[in-house]
Amino acid sequence: MTAQVAAVFAPGLFSSEAVHIAAGVGALVAVVTSVVGVFTVIRGQSFAGEALGDIGATGGSGAYLVAVGPLWGFVVGNVIAAGAMELIGIQRPRGRDLATGIVLGASIGLAALFLYLTTTSQSTTGAAVTILFGSVFAITSSTVPMIALLSAIVLATMLAIYRPLLLSTVSFDMASSRGIHVRIVGALYLFALALATALAAITIGTILSTALLIGPAATAVRLTKRPVLAILTGAAIGIATMWVGIVLAYDSYEWPPEGNGWPVSFFVVTLIFIAYLLSGLFALRKPRRSPGPTERSGAAAPAAES
Amino acid sequence: MEGPASSAVLEVQDLDVRLAGRKILDQVSFTIAPGQFTGLIGSNGAGKTTLFRVILGMQSASAGRVLRGGRARPRNDHLIGYVPQKFLLDPDLPMRARDLVGLGLDGHRLGIARPSRARRALVDEMLEAVDASSFADTRVGRLSGGEQQRILIAHALIARPRLLLLDEPLANLDLRSAHDVVALLARIAREQEIAVLISAHEINPLVGVMDRVVYLAQGRAVSGTTEEVVRADVLSKLYGHHVDVLDVHGRILVIAGAGDQRDLAGHEGSFPEILTT
Amino acid sequence: MFSGFMVNAWTVASIVAVVAGVVGFFTVMRGSAFAAHAIPNGSFAGAAGASLIGASTLLGLGVFSLSGALGIGLLSRRGRHDVATALALVVMLALGALFLSWSEEYAPAVYSLLFGEVLGIASNEVAPTAILGGLCLLAVAILYRPLMLSSVLPESGRARGISAFRMEMSFLLVLGLATTMTVPVVGTLLIFSLMIGAPAAARSFTDRPFVAMLLSVAIALLIVWFAIAASYESNYPVGFFVGTASAASYAVGRLWEAQRARRHKGARPR
């Protein structure tokens, strides 16, 4: 029995401090991204999440350059970008246009420059990998309080705007007529999204962050139509994939190629994908609603997939 | 409905179409002769678009058949020109009106078009025919809805079809523009011997111009001249309940009568429901 | 700057620019931003895998780009770019990271695949790039008219026997082919901005489709040449210059349009 346990949980797993931090941070971020992610899926605004992921690369690499922790870069960069998106009005589905894509391209180019300068000026390689693909193991204990604080802010914001956001997602007009400041609610949501993507970025990297933001949430939305249940399910899926991913990554130090270990972000992302595919089996059993006109990006009923 | 079958541009025979278990079209039959201007009248959801899709070969029928120029199988010989109801032209699209019309001539052929004087002359001629010469070099996406529609008509016409199909071309136009488009189409039909089939949910813009009308209701159709078809007895039989046809200052109103109507709350009432104007 | 191995760089980069300009022209016309973003993501894994097993990067890129193009085309037949596709593409990225982590030079390889690498173009890559580029251009030349008709007026195209699905698949395959040969120079993250920026800028300067395509090529060439020269001089990454130059071209185009509108004010209401 102990041999099998040791095979699954490699020796030292439970006593490693890096694993403790990773598990804790991973779980916390999974909860936060589930809350924000469910709304992102329902509102059909996955594009905004992806864009913030790209911009996060610029912010994070810039932070590296000035020898500040990347988390600061993610947060500051994302919040500014979210503010700009709000002002230009990218909340509307039409936001996915040429101009946005081109601006994102420029910001990615800028990230390339920052990363290059970091490599030469500080002779640290690996900045690119850390920013883009991240590693939950790389989070130091000094960053944990900041992560906890940011998570608390996101959760508090989402709690505060929960009902008006839900209402304005289902029906913009109904919400306005009830006196809800739909614009302010939307702006606060974007703010929460900015922080959530920053947290996802520090956990599994900017390029992969959309998987954490959208994956468990989309899976949950497939399984249940009730928002609260979806959030809880998404959080559970996120935590599960995080923890299993951490275990696998820790174990992989024993796997070929020797001693390197496989990137934990790879495991997490793959597990999220598998979870989504598996949910398709369950979703099929439920009575299918009648096919309506296909919409690409409308922020319509809570049942919509993004 | 007379004359040798092969001279008819379009013949629809006992057409049945089922979609998702519902019968959309039920034994629909009518004929279109060369140069004839026909209006396909029916309220929204009556099956007009489905009928068009079958005629264009984009939808298959459950029973019955469609003969195009005497043939059952559509050949790509551009017998039918089509102007869709909805189209979205990006205002930034780098394409002038004349370029879009040119695509109607040879857009289906592989390769890149070789500019020739003959081609340009033909495009100019089409633009002239739809009164679009003044904005021939403007970007299509920046034209008004009515102007774009005229370009699309030229785009369909340039391939010299024998039948021009227009899906609800009057739907979003004001009365004046609708009148202009109808007059234009009538002129084209007359001058170029092209049959025209327009679908619409309002009959009045077409009344003075149509040679024949195909009236679609509950999936069934009646065809003939306006005098033959737009009558209380004929339409009542078509709708399956009593229908009045009123002439109000020269405007025709088709109104569902009293007695067997129920309003939303389920109360029987004698309120008039305007079926077609 | 123009001698020795740099000759390879200039040659390959020029071919890349021409293809990006031509294929990008149709990408913008069709609004295929998702595919243009997604296919390079997928091909990242292919390139990483190829470098791991010592195979040609172009081969790895090619296999994954074309499969990705096919996959996207078949899946989006259902009418939606759904979560499964998006997640699958992220998995591809993670897979690429995994492959690279097994190789000796993890970080530099990641960097050059994502952001492009000019100096690494070997002389034996010039010929395959030219051949692939030629294929792309030939395909576009053949499909030019029906693709344009189907892109602008899909209903009319369908009425003339042009299947929108077949056009979409053909175009995606061409896009996959173009991605294969352009990624080594510009990088997977930045090929999108070259392919979109040049044609988007071109449309500001002309109303005619064919001219717009030619201008798109010209602008792409300028962007790439500038990027290579600047990268050679400053050692900064090519991708940085491509991203910023593409954005600058687009901005210039927009400004030109605004200024032209102001001059012709009153002539024709928009």
Test mutation, C77, C98, C242, chain A, max A CBs within 10 A: C98
Angle between helix axes A264-285 and A182-204 (nearest 10 degrees) is: 130
Among residues A223, A228, A226, A201, the alpha carbon closest in space to that of A212 is found at A201
Mutate to test the interface with C, among A54, A64, A103, A116 (most CBs of C within 10 A): A116
- Give residue A258's pLDDT: 63
Q: Which of B223-237, C24-38, C98-112 has the lowest mean pLDDT?
A: C98-112
What pLDDT is recorded for position B3? 42
**Alpha carbon distance B207, B213 (integer Å):** 9
A12 vs B166 pLDDT, higher one: B166
**A8 close to C (CB below 8 A):** no
Q: Residue A195 has what pLDDT?
A: 95
B12 is written with which tokens? 């629809």
Which of C83, C93, C246 shows the shortest C-beta gap to A102? Answer: C246
Predicted confidence (pLDDT) per residue in B169-206, tens digit: 998 888 888 888 999 999 988 888 899 999 998 888 89
- B25-35 average pLDDT score: 91
Q: Are C172 and A87 in contact (CB under 8 A)?
A: no
Pick the more confident residue, C110 or B259: C110
3-state DSSP assignment of residue A34? helix
Confidence of residue B57 (pLDDT cuts 50, 70, 90): confident
> pTM for this structure?
0.86
Residue B133 pLDDT > 90, yes or no?
yes
Nearest CA distance, C258 vs chain B (angstrom): 13
Confidence band (pLDDT; 50, 70, 90) for C131? very high
DSSP string across B104-121: HHHTTSSS-PPP-HHHHH
| Ranges A299-303, B41-45, B192-196, most confident | B192-196
User: In this predicted structure, what is the pLDDT of residue A123?
Assistant: 66
Touching subunits of C (3+ CB pairs, under 8 Å) are A, B
Q: Over the stretch C194-239, which tens digit does the pLDDT of each residue have?
A: 999 999 999 999 999 999 999 999 999 999 999 989 988 898 888 8
pLDDT (0 to 100) of residue A16: 81
Average pLDDT over residues C46-52: 87
Among B76, B106, B137, the residue with its CB nearest the CB of C207 is B137
Could you report the per-residue pLDDT of B142-153, keeping only the tens digit for each? 999 889 999 999
Return mean pLDDT, chain B.
85
DSSP summary character for residue B139: B
For residue A139, how far is the Cα from the chain centroid? 16
CA distances from C221 to A112, A161, C17 (A): 21, 49, 5
What is the per-residue pLDDT across A245-271, written as a single tens digit (0 to 9) for each?
999 998 888 887 766 788 899 999 999
- Band (pLDDT 50/70/90 cuts) for residue B76 is low
Classify residue C127 as exposed, middle or buried by CB count within 10 Å of its CB (0-12, 13-18, 19+): exposed
Nearest to C247 among A102, A129, A276 (CB): A102
- Is this complex's ipTM strictly greater than 0.95? no
For C56, other C-beta atoms within 10 Å of its C-beta total 15
Report the range of poorest mean pLDDT among A44-48, A104-108, C37-41, C128-132. A44-48
Whole-angstrom Cα distance, residue C151 to residue C27? 10
